[in-house]
Amino acid sequence: MYRLPLPLHDPVFALRQQILRQLLLVTAGGATLYLLLGLSPWLGSRLYPWDGLGLLLLSLACFGLIRVPRWGHHLAATIYIAGISQPIFFASQFYGIQHPVNAFYLLGVLACGLLIGDWFVIAWTASYGLF
């Protein structure tokens, strides 16, 4: 039976917790800024406001999951990685392959490596290649 590793005094685990909190703050701040800028008539997209609201709710949900003892951080990091990828998938399908939004795939792989690491980075990068 597989068990999640539960490092209590692992410095890498503490660093990943700190990085996740900072990424969640940046994501929530960016989503709020996007929602405010989208109110103007010249800045917005056809996906507005749903993509911004989704990212804001994702960061709030992950903040709540961090507080769950034992496995909350692992679950929050995994849900964050999967949830942050959805707007990238939708935007790349909407705007096409030549649009600069596809550069955010690299940020997803980087966040995956910083938050989870190990074999999951290879699997996640391969899944990005499929879609």
Report the pLDDT averaged over residues 9-37. Answer: 91
Q: Tokens 């969640």, residue?
A: 24
Residue 130 tokens, joined: 């499929």
Q: What is the pLDDT of residues 69-92, one digit of tens each?
A: 888 999 999 999 989 888 888 888
pLDDT score for 19? 94
Q: Is residue 3 part of a domain?
A: no
Residue 109 burial by CB count (10 A; 0-12/13-18/19+): exposed, middle or buried? middle
Number of domains in the chain: 1
Is the Cβ–Cβ distance between 121 and 97 less than 8 Å?
A: no
> What mean pLDDT, rounded, does the chain reach?
86
Domain containing 103: what range?
A: 12-130
Within a domain: 5: no
Task: State yes or no: pLDDT of 61 exceeds 90.
Answer: yes
- pLDDT score, position 131: 63
pLDDT of residue 57: 97
Residue 1 falls within a domain, yes or no?
Answer: no
Total Cβ atoms within 10 A of residue 124: 19
